[in-house]
Amino acid sequence: MTFIPPMTMMDFFRKSEGTWLTLRAVHHFDLVDDESGESNLIIQVVAQNDPKVVTICEQQSIDPARAMGGGRFMWQANLDDVPPNEDYGAVLIDVPDDESKLSGKLIRDRGYVEKIPVISRYWFGKDGILTIDTEYDNNQGQERCWFINDNFRIRVSSVRTMDGVNLTTYCSERRCISDDTLTAMIDRNLTRV
């Protein structure tokens, strides 16, 4: 069966919904710090009628009627047993350019690089690679993300300042199965014994 990548932002959010184990390599060009490691990325789809859509669009003077919905992203340490801290998250709202929905704006309540509300530009290439460009007050960020299959995806990003590129990251992300799915798999295997 041939894998078909998502080609609209809402399809991308829907395909991304769930918990992902992220293996991250980070390269700072101006610091010795190493932020490489493992974490969980939790993604939830935000419905078009969710009150967050209106709030975030109005913060950026965007007509909420143009929004298609969005995604809530939260991060946590890989072995944390507590629910993710919403302070380490962001909500992104999809505002497509046109009916094709291949490009548009992502309205964020909080940016990744600078923790301020921001508007990013996105587009999907013919190969299914999503590119997101973000202009912050003091930085420019670019992230590219693509699915290898339904349960594995790749993200690469860079952050540029006036002095040039100062940060790059490479992340491989594998979908985590839910406790219910794991229990069903164990039960199914126990019946085979």
What domains does the chain contain, in order, with CATH numbers? Answer: 9-191 (2.40.128.20)
**Side chain identity, residue 30:** D
**Side chain identity, residue 33:** D
User: 48-70 burial string, b = 16+ CB within 10 Å, else e?
Assistant: eebeebeebbeeeebebeebbbb
pLDDT at 81 over 80: no
- pLDDT tens for residues 126-163? 999 999 999 888 889 999 999 999 999 999 999 888 77
DSSP string for 131-157: EEEEE-SS-EEEEEEEEEETTEEEEEE
pLDDT at position 63: 95
Instruction: Please answer whether residues 166 and 159 qualify as being in contact, where contact means their C-beta atoms are separated by less than 8 angstroms.
Output: yes
Q: pTM higher than 0.75 for the full model? A: yes
pLDDT at 48 over 60: yes
Rounded Cα distance between 3 and 70, Å, is 23
> Cα-flanking dihedrals φ and ψ of residue 104, to 5°?
165, -160
pLDDT at position 86: 73
**Which of the four pLDDT bands, split at 50, 70 and 90, describes residue 49?**
very high
Rounded Cα distance between 63 and 40, Å, is 33
Q: What residue has token string 């002095």?
A: 163
